[in-house]
Structure 1
């Protein structure tokens, strides 16, 4: 099943996801380069909501650009298999090797606004990430390793502490949604 079909078949969990699904599908009809950063307005990213085996904690990384505790993930960079992207980014950003998806299905979708910033000496204009989140399981006892060019710390948090640790108001809403799904 291709990415568009996966997004079409995704069952939105709330009004935000209903609207974002509609817009993502509209963008997919308008643009043919959403899998790469060549599209400077909107492009696909994949995130991982990494949980421990008991589903009592989530893994957060202190993101250098946003100066906030956040989930892990990254740009699709041409790869339409967003689960693969989420798994790769989780390993790269945390050092974890013993990870597995709880499901191959999308866990969440969202359109995320990204403020203008500098990255590697280049100005990145304000744009949006068409984000797909996957629920990933990891062993909380496995050794963590920061990725200095992206994060400066990594740690396991209770659901509530993960939300409190984030300094980005819009992301607190996303993390609450992800945690609420876990509790269902």
Structure 2
């Protein structure tokens, strides 16, 4: 299934997702290259809400650029299978070796603002991440390691603790809380 098909069939959870979905569909139909960072204004990313098997804990990384605990994920960089991007990024950023989708469809979507910052000695201008999120699962007994060029630490948190650990108010209230609400709505 293409991203366009996935977005067309996606049922928004709230007004944020409804509005962001409309923008994403419009941008995908615009003919712009959204799949690579060559587009300095907006490009596609894939994130993961990684839970343990009983869904009581969430994996977070302490992100260097944002100076905050956050979910894991990264840029599409030309890859059009965004679930594969999310899986790859979780493994790279956490050291986990066994990660699997709880479900293969989109779990969430959002358009995220990224302030200008330095990365590897070069300035990256402010831009948008056109993000889709997948619900992934991993055993919380696996060993973890950080990826020093991206994060300072990786750790499991209780679901509410994961929300509270973030120092970014918008992410806490609009993203991480929403992801936990969706888990609860699924009976977890």
TM-score greater than 0.5 by the shorter chain: yes
TM-superposed deviation, 1:32: 2.8
When the two structures are aligned, how many residues end up with a matched partner? 184
In structure 2, C-alpha distance between the alignment counterparts of 1:123 and 1:113, rounded to whole Å: 16
1:88 pairs with 2:88: yes
TM-superposed deviation, 1:84: 0.2
TM-superposed deviation, 1:29: 1.6
Gaps of 5+ in 1: none
1:124 corresponds in structure 2 to: 124
1:168 corresponds in structure 2 to: 168
1:62 corresponds in structure 2 to: 62
1:18 corresponds in structure 2 to: 18
**SS of aligned partner of 2:29:** helix
**SS of aligned partner of 2:181:** helix
TM-score, reference length from structure 2: 0.96
In structure 1, C-alpha distance between the alignment counterparts of 2:31 and 2:95, rounded to whole Å: 34
2:74 corresponds in structure 1 to: 74
TM-superposed deviation, 1:138: 0.3
In structure 2, C-alpha distance between the alignment counterparts of 1:139 and 1:2, rounded to whole Å: 29
**SS of aligned partner of 1:30:** coil
TM-score, reference length from structure 1: 0.98
TM-superposed deviation, 1:169: 1.1
TM-superposed deviation, 1:64: 0.6
Moved over 3 A (4+): none
**SS of aligned partner of 1:152:** strand
Q: Deviations over 1:149-182 (max 9, x none)?
A: 0011111111111111101111112000000000
In structure 2, C-alpha distance between the alignment counterparts of 1:29 and 1:141, rounded to whole Å: 43
In structure 2, C-alpha distance between the alignment counterparts of 1:56 and 1:169, rounded to whole Å: 22
Q: Deviations over 1:1-49 (max 9, x none)?
A: 2111111111111110000000001111224310000111110000010
1:181 corresponds in structure 2 to: 182
1:40 corresponds in structure 2 to: 40
Root-mean-square deviation (Å): 0.7
TM-superposed deviation, 1:104: 0.7
In structure 1, C-alpha distance between the alignment counterparts of 2:2 and 2:62, rounded to whole Å: 33
In structure 2, C-alpha distance between the alignment counterparts of 1:157 and 1:31, rounded to whole Å: 40
In structure 2, C-alpha distance between the alignment counterparts of 1:13 and 1:132, rounded to whole Å: 13
Gaps of 5+ in 2: none
